Amino acid sequence: MIVTERKPLADILKALEGFKKVFLVGCGECSTICKTGGEPEVLAMKAELEKNGKAVTGFCVPEAPCNASKIKTELAKNMKNLRESEAILIMSCGLGVQSVKINDRLGLTILPALNTMFGAVLDAAGNFYEKCSLCGECVLGSTGGICPITLCPKGLMNGPCGGMNKGKCEVDKNRDCAWVLIYQELEKRNKLGEMKKIKEPRDHKKSGKPHKLVVNQ
């Protein structure tokens, strides 16, 4: 799940200066769940833009704009409206924005309406929690399924720092220390021996940008 938030309307209008005709693209997955780019939010954006003198030529809410086959299909369906447009305003994460840019055959100006915040898990109450830093070197098997890279502000790999106090983090005294949580989880599972295994420094090359995974040669 990629969490997004909508940019302030003033910022969106500033980015659209010089463009009269705008096509909107939403997202049927993450942004719909975040309530930042589903059909209700796209229609609300349409109304706001029209109120501020913009002509919205059309819109679509592809199932997953980050998927080339999905966005290509939607853009093809809306080609007539796109030919009448000067810019595409995209209500998805940065992945969707860049996917639209790559698959737009008309060379229109591509603009984001949202800020991409973080990858998260969604709990039963609909709250979002960042649990993974996508670091490329997963240690969850030895830390009781709790990520120290993400949950520890210092990203420590071998136990808590000296600032931990009564189980709380020195950076945020209302936050449980990630390594205390790890200790408690390993103790519960009778795997405290994992705490004695010194982890080597992380291979930061694995988290170097940009990544790619070629599955079809």
Instruction: Spell out the domain ranges in the chain.
Output: 2-119, 138-202
With a cut of 80, say whether residue 178 has pLDDT above it.
yes
The pLDDT score that the predictor gives to residue 213 is 66
Is CATH 3.40.50.2300 the classification given to domain 2-119? yes
pTM, full prediction: 0.86
105-161 pLDDT, tens digit per residue, is 999 999 999 999 999 998 988 899 999 988 888 899 999 999 999 999 999 999 999
- In contact, 70 and 133? CB cutoff 8 Å: no
In angstroms, what CA-CA distances link 63 with 30, 72, 104, 112, 216? 9, 11, 17, 18, 23
**Can you state the angle between helices 68-77 and 94-103, rounded to 10 degrees?**
60
4-55 pLDDT, tens digit per residue, is 999 999 999 999 999 999 999 999 999 999 999 999 999 999 999 999 999 9
